[in-house]
Structures are given as structure tokens and as C-alpha cells.
Structure 1
Amino acid sequence: MSEDTSQSRTVDGYTYTTAPVIAQLGPHRYAFPANFYDDQIGPSVGGGIALSFIWPGLQAAAPGDRPTRSMEDHYRTVTASIDYLDAVPASELLPRLSNTEATTEAGSVNRNDPRRRLDLRKAGTERFGLIPYAIDEERMAQFGNEYQKQFGEPVTRNPRKEDEWYIARAANGMLATFIKCDQPEGGNEGLAIQGDRLVPDESVKVSSCTHYFVDSNDNLGVTLFYPRVLLKDWKAMEEATRAALAKYKVR
């Protein structure tokens, strides 16, 4: 990524540059180059920031690139949404996202929905350094019976719309990464990797992933968005985000 502030490009009357723009996340300040922000201008109004990394190099796009990106470039863009966690410690975010306690009432049958609880899913074989957790169909059947008893109707379910879950843990066993992905349609992800390119396959829909991790030192929550075909590079995406936060933090 170039940090030469003389670099600029004018598109539709607006001049995009690589000049640093200050962003505030809680008590922390950052000076990211303008072209690193998702809109290539600056931080979002009302808090939080969004950065864009272009796959495969996971660097910022050239200034003025965003308004003229092709659909392929759009798919190659990994977006990082970063927020300061002022309500909970960073260590609590991933456990909250992977269970139902924060979104259901105590005693509710919905609290036992195996689709929404990591501890009720079944661990599978490691892939890309991640452990997949599938829905436990035996527990799902039990939940369905309890749901019908309470509400008098069957659970609404569309298995093709049920997210795949992937987990990575820290050395101490705590959740370090939580990723939810769309299921491929007919085995196709919507895109295929050909060298440094992403090209459409036979699927109608492009399967995507939502990827959560935290920066415990600064109490930040990070959410990445990218096509499922790029899941293999999840760790590189985390490392690129952490490197940018460290590099551009104002000391």
C-alpha cells in the first residue's frame, strides 16, 4: 500500500488521495490512508470504521478505485467492519455471538435451538485450520418436538439456508475466530479461483462468509465480509487487519 500523499485521482469531481484521515474507536485514534477506508474517504458517521482489503494481496486499493470497480473487483474486496466494544469485554463477544442467551428469554424453547448454539453443534474434521461445527440432527429433532409442544406448529426450517459454522480457538481454549458461511448451491460457491482472479461458476448465488474476531488489547470487535471461496485465506485476512490496526494507530 502506497503512503505517498501526493498520489491522487479525481473521479466525478471528487479527488481521492492516500492522505491519512483520523478515525476514533473509543479511546483509540488511528490515521489510516484515505484509500484504505471502504468509501476511500474516511470513517463512518456515528462511530465504527470500515476498511477494504483487495484479495489476493490484501492491500488497500489505489485511490479513486472504488467508484469504477468491476464486479470481479467487488468480489475480491474483503471488508472489515471495526467497532469499539464499550458494552462488553472483547473476550465475551464471540461466546455471545455463538449462543442464544443474549437473544432469547430464560426458559424459552428457542434457547435450545441447535442451529444457533455452538455447544449443541457437532465438531467435524479440521479444514484450513478451522473446525467446522454442523447442526446435530438428533438434537434438532428433539428441539422440533419441544417447539411443537409449546407453539402447536412445526419448526420452520430450510436446511439450504442454514449457515455453516467454523471455529478456531486460542491456546487457552477460548474462542478466537467464529465464521458463518452460506452453504454452496449444488456444490458450487458462485465463484471459482483462477490464479489471482475470481470467476463465476454455475451457481446462481455467490456464497459468502461473515467472520468475527476481536482485538483484546484495545477491546475491538472486527467483522469481515468476503465470498466463501476465499475462506481458505481467513487467517491471512485476520493478520492483515491486525497489522493495519497496529501500523496506523496513533501513539
Structure 2
Amino acid sequence: MLACGERKAQAQTSVPTTQTNEQGCTRQRSIGPQDPFQNPPPLKQACVGPYLLEMPQHLFYSQMGTEFDGRFALVLQYPGLQPFAPGERMNLKLDVSMRTVRFAYDYIDRIELRQAMRNAYTPLDFEVDNPSESLAGRIVGEPVYGLLPYYADLPRIREYHASRGTRASAPVMEADWHQDWFITRDAAGEVDRLIRCTSREVGGTGVVFRDGLMYRHMQEPYSECTHQFMLPEHSTLVRITYVRLGLKDWQQIEDKARALFFDHLVSPHQ
């Protein structure tokens, strides 16, 4: 028993307390049992490429810091965009999951950042004729919330798949399989923001409000958006997911994404 205890102690002390990524950012790791309910929450570190961030652990998706390999996402709750209480996301309930705004930060260094952005709305060679995979195959609408919409052309999409032998009852023929795209362009005409939301043909919001909190409306289909933009000076692509109802607040949500990054930025690797 004594020998077993000694080996266990040696194993615990041999666990490295730091982790360094490919870009040279070194973060302090969380060793041993974690308490997501701890209040005030302790500070935890994370790396985005060479950039070190430090923030309270309840802002992390797991509310305990990064995953073992350093990956992480941050969360706030819609519509107030305030943090979840420490431990509130444990045993994740449907309503809590549905009101989650999730922020992910991807450092891009293997290709040019703008090319990574282009890849999000450019079809692969074998999908070039698929109207759901490109801007050109969509219905351009009038600006909404300061965004230019490219709506899914569902009749054209169904015709495309039917011509390839897809049965009429296949999921890809349903509206909830497809997304409407909303973009902005920079001064050079390049897409610098892309928000993809469940098709407008899917009715209802999928949510209901009670006492200022948002809950899942079980009699309506759930719709959501994936919002992508760049932090050019930090070669970082930001991806945010939230309920489709939040599209009208996209600017506020994006501002929060920037604040979560810059307000907790400790330093780049030197």
C-alpha cells in the first residue's frame, strides 16, 4: 500500500504544470480536481496561437478552463450577454444550452486569413453546381440589420438534388437542412463577415421568454446562426453560434466577441 501511494504521488508530481503550443504560447494548466462552482471563480489561461488570454473560469464552455489539449470556447447567455453563474452549465439543461452564445477563436497560420474566410463561402470543386454552397446560387434580398442577405433558393436546391436521384423525402430536401447567408463587404469588396442562419422558411423562433430569460419553445423548430468574422491584426478567425433570434443583435454579439479577446489578452509570445 505504501509503495502504491508513493507511485501515485510521483505520477501526480510528474504532470507538467504548463503547456506550450506550436506558436510558442505557454499557459498554466489546471492540475487536479476542478470546482466549476467556485465563487469567485479562479483565473484560467488559454492560448490563441501566440496570444495568451487569462479570464475567470466560468467564462469557459466547460466552466473549468480549457480542454486537456488546450482547446477552448467561451460562453455568454442570450439575450443579456452576461456570464453564466459558476457551475450553471453543469449537467447542461436544454434551456441553458439553447440560450448559450458560444465564441471560438481559431488562429490561422497555414493559409492566409482572408483565404480562410473565402473558404467559408466558396464551394469545393465537386459542389460548384450546388446552389446551397455559393453566393451565386442564392436569392439576393434587401439589406436587413445592416447585412446583405443571400437566401437559400429552396426550389432550385430541391431541383438540383432531385436531378441527382435524391428522393423527395430525404432530409436535404427540407428547409431546416439549409441556411440563409448574411454578409458585409469591406472597402475592397471582399466579404469580411458571414452569418449563416437556419432558413427563413423554418417558421417561428423556437424560443419563448419568461421573466427576462429565454426558454425552448417545444412546439416550434429551433433555429440558430453561425457568425464568422476576422481579427486581422491577430490572424484570428472568430466563430460564434447563437439562436436565430439573435441575428438582430449581431453587432452587439460581435462586440462582445472582441471584448472577450482583447479585455483578457495578457501578451503575445515574444
Does the pair score TM above 0.5? yes
Q: Say which of 100, 103, 116 aligns to 1:93.
A: 116
| Structure-2 residue corresponding to 1:114 | 131
CA contact (8 A) 1:185 1:203 kept: no
Quote the offset at 1:97 in angstroms.
0.7
Q: Which runs of 5+ in 2 are unaligned?
A: 1-33
| Structure-2 residue corresponding to 1:129 | 146
Q: Say which of 203, 211, 214 aligns to 2:227.
A: 211
Which string of whole-angstrom CA distances, capped at 9 and with x for unpartnered residues, describes residues 89-123 of structure 1?
Answer: 222222111011xx33xxx4x32212101133232
In terms of mean alpha carbon deviation, does 35-44 or 64-73 score higher?
64-73
**TM-score, length basis structure 2:** 0.73
CA contact (8 A) 2:142 2:149 kept: yes
| Structure-2 residue corresponding to 1:57 | 80
Question: Residues of 1 paired with 2:108 and 2:60: CA distance?
Answer: 20
**TM-score, length basis structure 1:** 0.78
Quote the offset at 1:199 in angstroms.
3.8
Quote the offset at 1:61 in angstroms.
1.9
| Structure-1 residue corresponding to 2:63 | 40
Quote the offset at 1:178 in angstroms.
0.9
Q: Say which of 4, 10, 16 aligns to 2:38.
A: 16
Matched letter for residue 213 of structure 1:
F
Quote the offset at 1:78 in angstroms.
0.4
Quote the offset at 1:126 in angstroms.
1.3
CA contact (8 A) 2:36 2:86 kept: no
CA contact (8 A) 1:47 1:83 kept: no
Aligned positions, number: 230
Assess, with a 3 A threshold, how the Cα gap between structure 1 residues 249 and 13 changes in structure 2: closer, same or farther.
closer
Matched letter for residue 144 of structure 1:
Y
Question: Residues of 1 paired with 2:199 and 2:259: CA distance?
Answer: 30
Matched letter for residue 35 of structure 1:
H
Question: Residues of 1 paired with 2:144 and 2:208: CA distance?
Answer: 18
Matched letter for residue 46 of structure 1:
D
Quote the offset at 1:40 in angstroms.
0.9
1:225 and 2:247 equivalent? no
Secondary structure at the counterpart of residue 94 of structure 1: helix
Assess, with a 3 A threshold, how the Cα gap between structure 1 residues 162 and 91 changes in structure 2: closer, same or farther.
same
Quote the offset at 1:195 in angstroms.
6.8
Secondary structure at the counterpart of residue 119 of structure 2: helix
CA RMSD of aligned residues (A): 3.0
| Structure-2 residue corresponding to 1:158 | 173
Quote the offset at 1:139 in angstroms.
6.5
Q: Percent identity?
A: 26
Max radius of gyration: which structure?
A: 2
Matched letter for residue 196 of structure 1:
G
Which string of whole-angstrom CA distances, capped at 9 and with x for unpartnered residues, describes residues 106-145 of structure 1?
Answer: xx4x32212101133232011122111024579758x839
